[in-house]
Amino acid sequence: MSAEANTPERMKQHVSKCFTRSPTKAVDAKQVSTYYLGMGRARRTSSDRRLELVDAALQIIATQGIASLNTRSLATHVGLSSGAIFKHFASIEALLDAVVARVEAVLDATYPPASLPPVERLRTFVEARSTAVGNQLGILRLVVSEQFRLALPQGASTRLAGCVQKTLAFALDGVREGQRTGELRSDLGAETLALLVMAVVQMLAVSPLEPPLRDAEARAVLDSLIVFLRSPASAPPSSRRNST
């Protein structure tokens, strides 16, 4: 078969002929396009499709809320039939369990090595976490909203709460270590500074700016955060002069 025969237009023409019901009555263009796109979907693996459904669920949660997540809305979002979703997930509860597993994987990937110095570790964490959550705002809605967590199956809700506790513990450990070494200020409690770190993560994640303005904003906010976290005695000389 020639390369020309494999072009999208020639394939659409072929599908149109296959769907012709009679010499004078053919399926409309929308049906042909749907069938044609379905041919492409069929080439995806089951794991790819499951990931697509999970990410679509997070998108629905981010834009419409978890109450709007059902097989119909999910099917509409990804262009499948409601029945096709059950080929990949036995129930909506199984889907939500997979959503939480996706959240766990995304969040775990944002933890920097514990071997980094405290200030560098916290900065790297804020940058990685805000970027990852900013790309999947459904994660933020699930994590920060008690109402959303209560709407999850019990096991999934417990695991999601564990993600929140792990995140706070990471920030708290970094702050405490920085205070012990004198890199971070000790006139404020470690819990207060750790909560400030988490607040900056959320603020950067929901920033409405687009690159490169978003990147510039993130750098400026991170610089300000680190200056505030540092012990006055350990701050760079320029920072101390500017604050006096």
We report the CATH number of the domain holding residue 230 as: 1.10.357.10
Residues 142 and 234 in one domain: yes
Residues 36 and 120 in one domain: no
The model's pLDDT over 136-162, given as tens digits with 9 standing for 90+, comes to 989 998 888 887 778 888 899 999 999
- Inside any domain, residue 98: no
- Inside any domain, residue 83: no
pLDDT > 70 fraction of the chain, expressed in percent and rounded: 77
Query: Distance between CA 43 and CA 37 in Å, rounded?
Result: 11
User: What band does 50 get if pLDDT is binned at 50, 70 and 90?
Assistant: very high
Residues 27 and 122 in one domain: no
pLDDT over 50 (residue 22) = no
The number of distinct structural domains making up the chain is 2
Nearest one of 24, 102, 118 to 56, comparing CA atoms = 102
What confidence score (pLDDT) does residue 106 get? 96
Higher pLDDT, 67 or 116: 116
Query: Distance between CA 232 and CA 244 in Å, rounded?
Result: 11
For the segment 108-124, the average pLDDT, to the nearest whole number, is: 96
Range of the domain at 172: 109-242
User: What band does 44 get if pLDDT is binned at 50, 70 and 90?
Assistant: confident
Q: Say which amino acid occupies 181.
A: T
Residues 122 and 224 in one domain: yes
- Inside any domain, residue 116: yes
- Inside any domain, residue 28: yes
Residues 136 and 231 in one domain: yes
What confidence score (pLDDT) does residue 121 get? 97
Residues 21 and 113 in one domain: no
- Which alpha helices (DSSP H) does the chain contain, by range? 8-18, 29-41, 46-64, 71-78, 82-85, 92-108, 118-135, 137-144, 146-150, 154-181, 190-205, 213-229, 237-242
Residues 116 and 218 in one domain: yes
Q: Which residues of 200-230 are buried (b: 16+ CB within 10 A; e: fewer)?
A: bbeebbeeeeeeeebeeebeebbeebbbebb
What confidence score (pLDDT) does residue 232 get? 72
Query: Distance between CA 132 and CA 13 in Å, rounded?
Result: 42
- Inside any domain, residue 159: yes
- Inside any domain, residue 35: yes
- Inside any domain, residue 71: no
pLDDT > 90 fraction of the chain, expressed in percent and rounded: 55
Residues 133 and 28 in one domain: no
Query: Distance between CA 115 and CA 186 in Å, rounded?
Result: 22
Supply 66's token pair: 């978890």
- Side-chain-side CA neighbours of 135 within 13 Å: the count stands at 11
- Inside any domain, residue 78: no
Query: Distance between CA 19 and CA 223 in Å, rounded?
Result: 61
Residues 33 and 117 in one domain: no
Residue 22 backbone dihedrals phi, psi, to 5 degrees: -155, 170
